[in-house]
Amino acid sequence: MSSEIAANLEAVRRNIRAACERSGRDPADVTLIAVSKTKPAAAIEEALEAGAADFGENYVQELTAKIPYFEERGASVRWHMIGHLQKNKVKYLAGRTALIHSVDSVALAEQIEKEAAKKETETDILLEVNVAGEESKWGFTAADVSGAAAEIRALPHVHVLGLMTSAPYTEDPETNRAHFRALSRLAREMADAGLIEPPRDGFRTPVLSMGMSGDYTVAVEEGATIVRVGTSIFGHRDYSDKER
């Protein structure tokens, strides 16, 4: 059965391959995360059947409701927490995510450390950077993130694998190219300074999680190792029946 989701996934993969070709990169170095927030399990199943393995969610409650559904069916899904995370919700995630992308404070990393230690697990994270200094967005400033990484490095159950950003919403992805390039450079500098861990758990480091439906091809050209694509795979989201 060929579904619209499968066709969309194939189109996104094709665009990623083309962006890699333009920039002399190996497509194997770019992981596509299908962002499934607000979408039902059936949509995730369709994407799984079409070969998707990594899924991104923004809300702890929705994520922890979806995880057991797929565990019970023996489906292997790598879950990525990409939305803003409150400290009091960390306990629900410990040991259940492949990667938490949205760590935006040292205090949050310390809470992840505490819960990971309690569950005798280790947690891979990215540090979120607010590349354009937008008021509406979470994240460290580019100036602060290295200092934060130096503090977080002391936490034995938390591993900083790289950086994540959500660039400004745009109709023209070229307007975000400079942001992506700057984050790429920052991640390399931090890796050289020992502030980002060597490869682990199948992730090449430094991980650079950047690029969404509107701008992922430019992000790939500028070095993204993870792109987070929702709308271009699953269609537009309907928030009308949700309380956020």
Ligand X SMILES: *Cc1c(COP(=O)(O)O)cnc(C)c1O
H/E segment holding residue 55: strand 54-57
Q: Is 148 or 227 the residue whose CB approaches ligand X more closely?
A: 227
Least distance (Å) between residue 58 CB and ligand X: 5
- Considering only residues 219 to 238 of the shown chain, the ones binding ligand X according to CB under 6 A are 228-232
Kindly report the CA angle at 240 between 235 and 244, in degrees rounded to 5? 100
Nearer to ligand X, 173 or 206 (CB): 173
Cα 23 from Cα 68, distance rounded (Å): 39
How far apart (Å, rounded) are the C-alpha atoms in residues 17 and 199? Answer: 23
In the bound state, the residue with its beta carbon closest to ligand X is: 230
**Using rule CB under 6 A, residue 130 touches ligand X:** no
The residue (of 112 and 219) whose beta carbon lies closer to ligand X is: 219
User: Least distance from C-beta 232 to ligand X, angstroms?
Assistant: 6
∠ CA 89-97-112 to the nearest 5 degrees? 45
Pick between residue 3 and residue 170 the one whose CB is nearest to ligand X: 170
Handedness of CA 141, 239, 62, 173 (dihedral sign): negative
Q: Which of residues 131-190 bind ligand X (CB under 6 A)?
A: 166
Rounded to the nearest 5°, which phi and psi values hold at 126? -120, 155
CA–CA gap between residue 57 and residue 55 (Å, rounded): 7
Rank residues 203 and 234 by Cβ distance to ligand X and give the closer one.
234
- The amino acid at residue 91 is K
Write the single-letter amino acid at 220: V
Residue 118 beta carbon to ligand X: minimum distance, rounded to whole angstroms: 27
Binding piece for ligand X, criterion CB under 6 A, among 67-75, 85-93, 182-190, 208-216: 208-216
Of 130 and 184, which CB lies nearer to ligand X in the complex structure? 130
Minimum distance from residue 154 beta carbon to ligand X (Å): 27
Pick from 19, 108, 212, 218 the residue near ligand X by CB under 6 A: 212
Q: Are 60 and 19 in contact (CB under 8 A)?
A: no
From the list 11, 76, 67, 82, the residue with the least C-alpha distance to 226 is 82
Number of residues interacting with ligand X: please give it, by CB under 6 A.
14
Site for ligand X in 50-109 (CB under 6 A): 58, 82-83
User: Pairing mode, if any, of strands 123-128 and 99-103?
Assistant: parallel
Q: Which is nearer to ligand X, 155 or 183 (CB)?
A: 183
Of the residues 15, 146, 175, 213, which one makes contact with ligand X according to CB under 6 A: 213
174, burial (CB in 10 Å: exposed 0-12, middle 13-18, buried 19+) = exposed
Contact positions vs ligand X (CB under 6 A) = 35, 37, 58, 82-83, 166, 212-214, 228-232
